[in-house]
Structure 1
Amino acid sequence: MKELTTIEELNQFLEENAEVVLLKHSTTCPISSQAYNEFMQYAKHEGMKPWGLVIVQTARPVSNEIAERFGVKHESPQVLYVKDGSVVWHTSHWNITEKNLKEAIA
């Protein structure tokens, strides 16, 4: 896991990895807390691809850059699966479950 706090860190992370999973997380939202727990269960059991964590309260410019760069409206919590510079799958809120992540990120 790499916490992304600047746009420069985001750029480097995306350049270094052809496939990544990005998790936008709000530390004050109970829905986001549940989504984070589901995501961590998935990460624990699946040995997943490199993933970046964006805490929206402290890294809003990074969150905005992700929305603009990939053309995916900002939501929080939100997961984006990026492959070769394009979002191939994304979801948000209650749809962030271990089961959905397993099915979408092969």
Structure 2
Amino acid sequence: MNWETLSTTNQLKAIIAESTDHPVMIFKHSTRCSISSMALNRLERSWNQDEINPLKPYYLDLIAYREVSNQIAADLGVEHQSPQVLILSDGKAIYDNSHMGISYNEILKIANDLQTA
């Protein structure tokens, strides 16, 4: 899986703008949490960029970049969770889930629905 790293609030603004061209996904990961590591591993094992294209994945280490996580909550109106996955389209969070609710098949369905909309 080819993650793009999210590490600054300026980059977050650019990613939100990018979501007007194609959907993006942000995975917020706590490097100190075993549940977060398990959710990340499950997602990475299932990920198939060819079938989920054009959804672009971004990875946020929220321990190292907590201010970016806080800005996500403020800019997108989504309560902070860890781990958490968000899908953005047209500058808005259209989907979020956390912990064991993070599912590649659900993310794939949303990406496919966006393609046919």
1:39 pairs with 2:43: yes
1:23 pairs with 2:24: no
Q: TM-score, normalised by structure 1?
A: 0.88
RMSD between aligned residues? 1.6
Letter aligned with residue 8 of structure 2: T
Give yes or no for contact 1:42–1:101 (8 Å, CA) kept in 2. Answer: no
**How far did 1:51 drift?**
1.5
Structure number with greater Rg is 2
- Give ranges in structure 2 of 5+ residues lacking alignment: 113-117
Residue 16 (structure 2) aligns with: 14
Residue 7 (structure 2) aligns with: 5
**How far did 1:16 drift?**
2.9
Residue 95 (structure 1) aligns with: 101
Number of aligned residues: 106
**How far did 1:42 drift?**
3.5
Could you tell me which of 106, 110, 115 is aligned with 1:104?
110
Letter aligned with residue 31 of structure 1: I
Distance 1:73 1:28 in 2: 20
Residue 81 (structure 2) aligns with: 75
| Identity across the alignment (%) | 33
